[in-house]
Structure 1
Amino acid sequence: MPLPAFLRRPSLVTQIVIGLVAGTLLALASPRAGAAAGLLGTVFVSALKAVAPVLVLVLVAAAIANHRRGAQSGIRPILLLYIVGTFTAALVAVLASFAFPTTLRLALPDDIALTPPDGIGQVLHTLLMQVVDNPVNALMTGNYIGLLAWGIGLGLALRHASDGTRAVLADFAHAITWLVRLVIRLAPLGIFGLVAATLAQSGLGALLDYARLLAVLLGCMLFMALVGNPLIVFLKTRRNPYPLVFTCLRESGITAFFTRSSAANIPVNLELCRRLGLPEETYAVSIPIGATINMAGAAITITVLTLAAVNTLGIAVDLPTALLLSVIATIGACGASGVPGGSLLLVPLACGLFGISTDLAMQVVAIGFIVGVVQDSAETALNSSTDVLFTAAGSPARVDATPDPIA
């Protein structure tokens, strides 16, 4: 009996699913072997993080330098979609927390050594300092805000360069893109190692004590992925959004779920945008920006954990305060780092709105790290897949929701 076509010539997504299942089986059969297989996942994520900064700098500069005069880049509507999506996610989290209130068992561990921001001013100050960062330091530390600033500046300056110079820059961008596609082909092995190591080392037993909190968090993220974001895209495009939504979740969300880093998923998203036929001058800028400020999942995490602490302490919350919390969560989420657990350090910022002390807020952060085995993965999957979704929705080009296969 012949094998089905998807097994004879499996797509990259099929290979990733096979790696996921294989990693799960290995961790269950031999936790020690599963932990050892984690090296494959570490190498994969490290390779993505290594190539992403150079890719962003070169691709942004090349896209702007070779931008055709009079052509529409479509960046402004995409930025608006990012902000609307993040604020909507915060409102959804507020409503869900009111409908399904959760409480926490607060017990401060002895080994917490985290430094939350003092206020919105510090978050904005940090963002400003990232913009003016040294380009070499930005490359070394993965500062994508700084890389964007330098990429935009170089691109604008090189628009007046000779055709040969701009052609060399474009060829360099294509070479880096080729390397990225090579790294992405390793995704099945990387996912295999990440799943095996996570299940072998962490397990899911620790999550049972926080099942209700996780249900609210994941429920909000699922609602945004399947209802909130599609509605926003429909209002923008007036077309059925679900083929594109499912494509983004499948092609971008799966890898983001396991890498747990919006920054590491930038190469994956850039490749998906290319396969969707989007204008390079649009996605070369919008995807790195989205990895920094398009943080619907982070807004949900900040809001739900803050209101869980509020409910635990018996603090009354009125509607104006809830709306203010949504605004703070939106601004804080935009300043969240694109690395695992980046949104959790913004929880004390939101807790300060209700007069909750830093010590109590850091207890909530500690609980966030416990549930982060699942929460942070789902958060990153929502954030990163939405980058492509909103880029496609706001792009001036017409999008086919079926991407070309990776060559």
Structure 2
Amino acid sequence: MAMKDYSDEFKADAVALYESTPGATYKSIAADLGINRATLREWVLRDRERRGVTAVAAKPAAQPREAASSADPDERIRQLEARVAELEASERKLATERDILRKAAKYFRRDELVISRFQFVDDHRNTYEMKRLCQVLGVNRSSYYKWLAGAEARATRQREDRILAEEIREVHGESGGAYGSPRVTAELREKGRRVNEKRVARIMRTFSITGIRLRRRVRTTAPDPAASPVSDLFQRDFTATEPGRKYMGDITYLPLAGGEFLYLATVLYCFSRKVVGWSIANHMRTSLVADALQMAASARGSLDGAVFHSDHGAQYGSRAFAGLCDQLGVTRSIGAVGTSANNAACESFHASLKRETLQGTRDYGDAGTCRRTVFAWLTRYNTRRRHSANGHLSPNEYEHRHHTAKLTLAA
């Protein structure tokens, strides 16, 4: 069922998604969001009017090609010969570029030490034209010559780094492999070596010398000891044979550049695995999960009589959230403490979101980019992403077919 009353946040995110997507059309973005094309267009125009931005002028139509070719056969032949020469030159250029990139591939393999692009240019300067090499690899020629001029000083630093690396390995080995850069630096200084910690840390990274360090874990589940006990009504059964009965939710962190985070709370509809409510904020207060549940109530029309399942997070166990559930007619269910399997479906959903949006990167960059990226994925997840639990139908299509089948049986 489509959401009839869209929040201001949803509208703003939809407009931001359209404006920030190169080559976007109202039709394509509206299809991803599951809304009407005219509705999206109205939001965009209204936002532009508010910001005083005039509509972008349509691209001028391409000039029509000359309708009639030259009547002179000799002139026509000359034109064709010129065109053939142009295509041959273009083909030679592309062949050269392909050859350069093929040979450059080994310089940038992830499983080997990455060699500088400047080094590749230097190794092949006698094989290819310098200008072409730099163009294909995206290298500034003046920067390359500057790099070349510093070769001797760079070689000296590398020799000194190798010597220091051996000293670091000795200290690291004496510690049983436990020391990181701060303690290694202190030990070297104790032995009379004048060195700063940043250099030690850099060399340890370069030569893969690591201390014992527990991986930082962002904790999003913190139980509230004062909360009233709530039963686990799901018992790890996240399926639903009837619509409108079972929902589940969780919080996950969204990493930003600089070590900061945003937090995402979601509400999933067990029957179709559709994400019916979500909220993004820079905090994990109760309002985060409350906003997500209220969005779900608005999207579904009502949650009266439904069961909502979550983990033991303090937000879900708070009095404010319990009051909201009572107001909406929702029965709470909380999984047993001790394992993430008690909320496995939500954990899997959040893992898929971050895997497919981060695509191997460490963070989303700034907060605005993070919000747009996650918003686009969530809406596309509902409208287009095929889900194995739905027989590889999108959540919206699964609900639509169920509703159509129900009407057919009733008739």
The answer to whether the superposition gives a TM-score over 0.5 is no
Larger fraction in helix: 1
Larger fraction in strand: 2
Greater relative contact order (CA < 8 Å, ≥ 6 in sequence): 1
Per the normalisation by structure 1, the TM-score is: 0.19
Structure possessing the higher radius of gyration over alpha carbons = 2
